[in-house]
Chain A
Amino acid sequence: MTSTRQTPPAVPLLHRVAETARDQIPFTLDGVACTALAGDTVLTAVLTHAGQLRRNEFSGAPRAGFCMMGACQDCWVQTGEGARLRACSTFVAAGMCLVTEVPA
């Protein structure tokens, strides 16, 4: 398995087009303090800041989910404690510590 340890691109993938007046939820992404909005999924929280959720174990390439509805299983994200959660179907919680430069 390979994973090139690069900093994920800072350009976000997802763009908010509505509903920006929600409470803020602090979390950390690859060690960096970030802010999401209440009701964001982990996927939204991460991808409104960065360009990937994880790396594929076999190609090493970055992945950012695909189906958004819990079917493709390509959005698993690891927490700092080593737990794994499915980003598209898990709401972000205050204090979550998320890691994306790994195969989750």
Chain B
Amino acid sequence: MTQRIDCDVAIVGGGIVGASAALALRRMGRSVVLLERDLCGSRSSGVNFGGVRRQGRPISQLPLAQRSHRIWGELARTIGTEGEYVRSGHFKIARSEADLAALEQYRAQSRDFDLGLEMISGARLRERSSWLGAKALGGSLCPEDGQANPRLVSPAFARAAEREGARVLERARVDEAAHDGQRFVLRSVAPGLEVRAPVLLNCAGAWAGPLAAQFGDEVPLRSGHPAMAVTEPLPVFMDWSLGVEGGGIYCRQVARGNVVMGGGAGFALDDERARVERGSIDGICLQAIELLPALRHAHIIRTWSGTEGYLPDRQPVLGVSPRRPGLIHGFGFAGAGFQIGPAAGEVLAELACHGRSSTPIEAFAVDRFEREAEAVAANAPNPSPRPQPISVAR
């Protein structure tokens, strides 16, 4: 018994990107059906570090990040909960003079975007943040960057979309996706659904590659698994959310006292689940104690990982398909999608309704790798296959 649903826009993927797109589309008066294979916000959007950060992003992402910053500033009004969002400040640590120089350079390059970056080092740093270990020479503070609880925020976007009239269908994996000449046709076997829409948003996260490829948009999307760990609740000693210039670990302390840390990689157990690699646990602990001596006596009570989608340039894919009219992509946020996810969703809604967005997104074109490859090898054959219905379930 198949239930058929027709709508203006179908969305595959109920993470923060898909859900915020659904919400934005409802506010623009479009009918929306969102298909999520598990529960909304149960994957990367729900298990990431929780940093809500603009500082350090490529300059090309900053318009999107600034747009998102405004959405975050009205979070409770938008999704009905603060989700523990706090503008605690994000401090990017420099461990050397070269690091400091790199941070100064970023400050200069990003100056048009009003991030409010402030360099702090030496005695001023020690006075301001005595809890930072000696290896921290100085760093760059973005006072309005912060942190939130992804487990609360991401599902809340989906529920907000639902309250606004979006049909959010969970435990509804897309088993088949095709185009019948007029509309996209998505089939979900278990709940017995067929969804048809002239516009399809591909927000399937790390699993968006096959859906894109099916309609001719091949992208070199790889899965990665950032490693996370959390301590027991500790007396609150740290206000900033921390990152390290040049990589390493990132950490933040929540109001309840647990310190959440990330760094290194995990590994996939299967297509959908991941776990932290033991070497990463060692690495996170060593680096965290060095950075934050107060953690010396603390215990880790849990580790976890997730599955993120990465493109080779670590920039997302965000934009219309050049091959399949009506298909619009929003995926591959390379572990940095939480802060810009809400704006990406709004951009997708704009693209769906108007074919263009007020936010510059050329850097995120889905075919940029092809064009690059074509520029390199002039005789490269056209790689696009004829679209045909194939299973995208894995």
Interface residues of A (CB under 8 A from B): 1, 57-58, 82-84, 103
Residues of B299-350 whose CB lies within 8 A of A = 299
Interface mask (B267-299 → A, CB under 8 Å = 1, otherwise 0): 000000000000000000000000000001111
B299 touches A57 (CB 8 A): no
How far does the Cβ of A92 sit from chain B's closest Cβ, in whole Å?
19
Which of B236, B296, B297, B298 is within 8 Å of A1, CB to CB?
B236
Which of B233, B297, B298 is within 8 Å of A103, CB to CB?
B233
Which of A1, A58, A82, A84 is within 8 Å of B299, CB to CB?
A84
User: Which residue of B is nearest A1, CB measured?
Assistant: B257
User: Shortest 5 CB-CB distances between A and B: which pairs?
Assistant: A57-B233, A83-B297, A82-B297, A84-B297, A57-B257
Contacts of A103 in B (CB 8 A): 233, 235
The docked-state distance in angstroms from the alpha carbon of A83 to that of B294 is: 11
How far does the Cβ of B173 sit from chain A's closest Cβ, in whole Å?
37
The docked-state distance in angstroms from the alpha carbon of A103 to that of B233 is: 9
The docked-state distance in angstroms from the alpha carbon of A82 to that of B236 is: 15
How far does the Cβ of A4 sit from chain B's closest Cβ, in whole Å?
16
How far does the Cβ of B321 sit from chain A's closest Cβ, in whole Å?
49
How far does the Cβ of B301 sit from chain A's closest Cβ, in whole Å?
8
The docked-state distance in angstroms from the alpha carbon of A84 to that of B299 is: 9
User: Which residue of A is nearest B294, CB measured?
Assistant: A82
A-B contact pairs, 13 of them (CB 8 A): A1-B235, A1-B257, A57-B233, A57-B256, A58-B233, A58-B256, A82-B296, A83-B297, A84-B297, A84-B298, A84-B299, A103-B233, A103-B235
Contacts of A1 in B (CB 8 A): 233, 235-236, 256-257
User: Which residue of B is nearest A78, CB measured?
Assistant: B297
The docked-state distance in angstroms from the alpha carbon of A58 to that of B258 is: 12
User: Which residue of B is nearest A104, CB measured?
Assistant: B232
Contacts of B298 in A (CB 8 A): 84
Contacts of B296 in A (CB 8 A): 82
The docked-state distance in angstroms from the alpha carbon of A83 to that of B295 is: 10
The docked-state distance in angstroms from the alpha carbon of A83 to that of B297 is: 5
Interface mask (B362-378 → A, CB under 8 Å = 1, otherwise 0): 00000000000000000
The docked-state distance in angstroms from the alpha carbon of A84 to that of B297 is: 7
The docked-state distance in angstroms from the alpha carbon of A103 to that of B299 is: 14
Contacts of A83 in B (CB 8 A): 297
